[in-house]
């Protein structure tokens, strides 16, 4: 996976961190959910799994780029495990919904776990199998090797926190998707 330099700067300066990339519909609520998790150092919303370089929000929403809205998560493994991050992800979405979450429809809203290591792949596949036991419908969440992650425009970063929703660690209040 290739990340822009500005995404990699902070993880390199924060010792003993790992990275993860997840998609679960509109990235605003997903980002806020992960921001609240103790052990998460940084989150960045952006686009991944598409065919074009440096896509814009408008291009991604058109459906022609193939990208999905995603969140890049930097976390301290000593404080939170990848498995625990997957629990946050599964709780944030309907994993049986194909190409949508809630009222948002389109391939850019598909759900996915994009692994960076073989260990993450194994953990993700095991977690997906365990979640499947809870549903009669097939899990639509894709588990694929991470590709290039393009950070979204600045106005999308921490969007819900900018609108006043708490991003403090450990907060459990409901996340309102549009403010």
Phi first, then psi: give them for residue 42, nearest 5 degrees: -155, 145
Instruction: Tell me the backbone φ, ψ of residue 144, rounded to 5 degrees.
Output: -140, 160
Question: Which residues, in sequence order, are bridge partners of residue 28?
Answer: none
Distance CA 148, CA 49 (A): 7
CATH number of 17-163: 3.30.1060.10
Task: Give the pLDDT confidence score for residue 175 in this predicted structure.
Answer: 81
pLDDT of residue 172: 83
What is the reported pLDDT for 3?
46
- Per-position pLDDT tens, the chain of length 179: 444 434 444 555 566 899 999 999 999 999 999 999 999 999 999 999 999 999 999 999 999 999 999 999 999 999 999 999 999 999 999 999 999 998 899 999 999 999 999 999 999 999 999 999 999 999 999 999 999 999 999 999 998 888 888 888 888 888 888 63
26 assigned to active site? yes
- pLDDT score of 52: 93
Domain extent listing, the chain: 17-163
Choosing from 26, 61, 172, 177, the catalytic residue is 26
pLDDT of residue 170: 84
- Full DSSP string of the chain: --B-HHHHHHHHHSTTEEEEEEEESSHHHHHHHHHTSTTEEEEEEEEES-SSSS--HHHHHHTSS--EEEEEEEEETTTS-HHHHHHHHHHTS-TT-SSEETTEESGGG-EEEEESSHHHHHHHHHHHHHHHTT-SSPP--EEEE---EEEPPGGGTTHHHHTT----TT--SPPPTT-
């Amino acid at each position: 996976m290739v990340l822009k330099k500005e995404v990699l700067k902070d993880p390199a300066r924060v010792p003993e961190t790992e990275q993860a990339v997840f998609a679960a519909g509109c990235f605003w609520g997903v980002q806020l959910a992960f921001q609240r998790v103790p052990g998460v150092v940084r989150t960045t919303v952006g686009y991944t799994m598409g065919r074009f370089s440096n896509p814009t929000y408008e291009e991604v929403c058109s459906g022609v780029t193939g990208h999905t809205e995603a969140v890049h998560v930097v976390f301290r493994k000593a404080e939170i495990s990848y498995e625990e991050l997957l629990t946050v992800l599964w709780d944030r979405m309907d994993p049986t919904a194909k190409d949508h979450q809630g009222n948002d429809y389109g391939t850019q809203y598909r759900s996915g776990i994009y692994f960076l290591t073989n260990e993450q792949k194994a953990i993700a596949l095991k977690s997906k199998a365990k979640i499947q036991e809870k549903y009669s419908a097939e899990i639509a969440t894709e588990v694929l090797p991470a590709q290039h992650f393009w950070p979204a425009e600045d106005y999308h970063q921490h969007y819900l926190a900018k609108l006043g929703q708490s991003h403090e660690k450990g907060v459990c209040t409901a996340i309102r998707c549009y403010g």
